[in-house]
Structure 1
């Protein structure tokens, strides 16, 4: 059983917010949620291609979302230059 839509939004928001603090990015609430959710999806796809599967609970998904969101912010900065 997964974390559900509401859980994904909450975790995505937390992951994006923490990532924006770590990366010193000035993003709003909606972008934080988007970064966290998209970051988690992208990193979960990459990890599953490598045979690594994050547990479908809050903490592992928060960590994956945080790392993914930080990666997206870094990629955005590199492309924007």
Structure 2
């Protein structure tokens, strides 16, 4: 259980950081974790609708980064 929470936070931090670099901008560690965890949910939903699932740490990071980029794109469009 503790390992699952720690791995979620670690994947979230990495995915949020990568998404902020791809989409431009930056943020704190807490913001990157939040964006990465939300991105993981968004990416899991999008990839699930397409029939894909992530079964490795690398695949989870890719799905999370794609989802975080989509989340940041939509959030930026809604705030403008």
Q: TM-score range by the shorter chain?
A: 0.7 to 0.9
> Which aligned runs of 4 or more in structure 1 are off by greater than 3 angstroms?
none
RMSD: 1.4
> 1:66-77 to 2 correspondence within 5 Å?
66-77=65-76
- TM-score of the two chains, using structure 2 as the length reference: 0.86
Which structure has greater helix proportion? 2
- The aligned length equals 78
Instruction: Flag structure 2 segments of 5+ consecutive residues without an equivalent.
Output: none
Structure 1, unaligned runs of 5 or more: none
TM-score by length of 1: 0.85
